[in-house]
Amino acid sequence: MAGAGSFRREMLEAQAPPAARTGRLRWLQENLFSSWPSALLTLLSLAAILWLVAHVWPWFAHSVWDAGSLTECRAIIRETWGEGASGACFAVIRERWQQFLFGFYPRELYWRPTLAFVLMFVALAPILFAELPRRLRWFAVAFPGIAYWLLWGGPASVPLAVYAGFAIAWLVHRAVAARSSELVALVVAVAAMILWWLHLAGPVARALPILELQPVGSSRFGGFTLSLVIGVTGIAFSLPLGILLALGRRSQMFFVTTMCVGFIEFIRGVPLITLLLVASFLLNIFLPPGTNFDIILRVIIMVTLFASAYMAEVIRGGLAALPRGQYEAADALGLDYWKATRLIIMPQALKISIPGIVNTFIGLFKDTTLVAIIGLLDPIGLTTAIRADTNWNGIVWELYGFVALLFFLCCYGMSQYSQYLERKLRTGQR
DSSP string covering 73-94: HHHHHHHHH-TT----BTHHHH
Is residue 252 involved in binding another protein (CB under 8 A)? no
Binding segment toward another protein, per CB under 8 A, in 37-45, 120-128, 318-326, 384-392 = 318-326
Instruction: Select 133 or 325, whichever has its Cβ closest to another protein.
Output: 325
Minimum CB separation of residue 424 from another protein in Å reads 12
Out of 331, 355, 394, 401, the only residue in the binding site for another protein (CB under 8 A) is 331
Out of 335, 354, 385, 406, the only residue in the binding site for another protein (CB under 8 A) is 335
Q: 278, 298 in Cβ contact below 8 A?
A: no
Residues from 183 through 222 that contact another protein (CB under 8 A): none
Is residue 302 involved in binding another protein (CB under 8 A)? no
Is residue 13 involved in binding another protein (CB under 8 A)? no
Instruction: Select 191 or 329, whichever has its Cβ closest to another protein.
Output: 329
Out of 5, 84, 334, 375, the only residue in the binding site for another protein (CB under 8 A) is 334
The DSSP symbol for 306 reads H
Handedness of CA 194, 195, 198, 200 (dihedral sign): negative
Instruction: Select 9 or 426, whichever has its Cβ closest to another protein.
Output: 426
Tell me the three state secondary structure of residue 153: coil
Instruction: Select 39 or 321, whichever has its Cβ closest to another protein.
Output: 321
Instruction: Select 279 or 345, whichever has its Cβ closest to another protein.
Output: 345
All residues at 6 or more sequence positions from 370 whose CB lies less than 8 Å from its CB, including other chains: 272, 273, 276
Is residue 391 involved in binding another protein (CB under 8 A)? no
Alpha helices in 282-393 (DSSP H): 283-286, 295-321, 324-332, 337-340, 346-367, 379-388
Minimum CB separation of residue 69 from another protein in Å reads 59
Instruction: Select 36 or 338, whichever has its Cβ closest to another protein.
Output: 338
Q: How many residues bind another protein (CB under 8 A)?
A: 23
Each residue 341-380 as x (binds another protein by CB under 8 A) or -, in order, gives: --xx--xx--x-----------------------------
State how far the alpha carbon of 228 is from the alpha carbons of 22, 263, 322, in Å: 46, 26, 34
Instruction: Select 117 or 337, whichever has its Cβ closest to another protein.
Output: 337
State how far the alpha carbon of 252 is from the alpha carbons of 41, 197, 256, 257, 346, in Å: 57, 33, 8, 7, 18
E-strand ranges in 6-54 read none
Instruction: Select 17 or 428, whichever has its Cβ closest to another protein.
Output: 428
Residue 120 CA to residue 147 CA, distance in Å, equals 8
Q: Nearest 10 degrees: CA dihedral of 393, 394, 400, 403?
A: -20
Instruction: Select 314 or 330, whichever has its Cβ closest to another protein.
Output: 330
Integer-rounded Cα Rg, in Å, for the chain is 29
Is residue 325 involved in binding another protein (CB under 8 A)? yes
CA-based end-to-end distance of the chain: 45
Is residue 182 involved in binding another protein (CB under 8 A)? no
Minimum CB separation of residue 331 from another protein in Å reads 6
All residues at 6 or more sequence positions from 124 whose CB lies less than 8 Å from its CB, including other chains: 140
Is residue 142 involved in binding another protein (CB under 8 A)? no
Is residue 429 involved in binding another protein (CB under 8 A)? yes
Minimum CB separation of residue 344 from another protein in Å reads 6
- Most distant CA pair in the chain: distance in Å? 106
Tell me the three state secondary structure of residue 131: coil
Binding site residues, another protein, CB under 8 A: 323, 325-326, 328-336, 339, 343-344, 347-348, 351, 425, 427-430
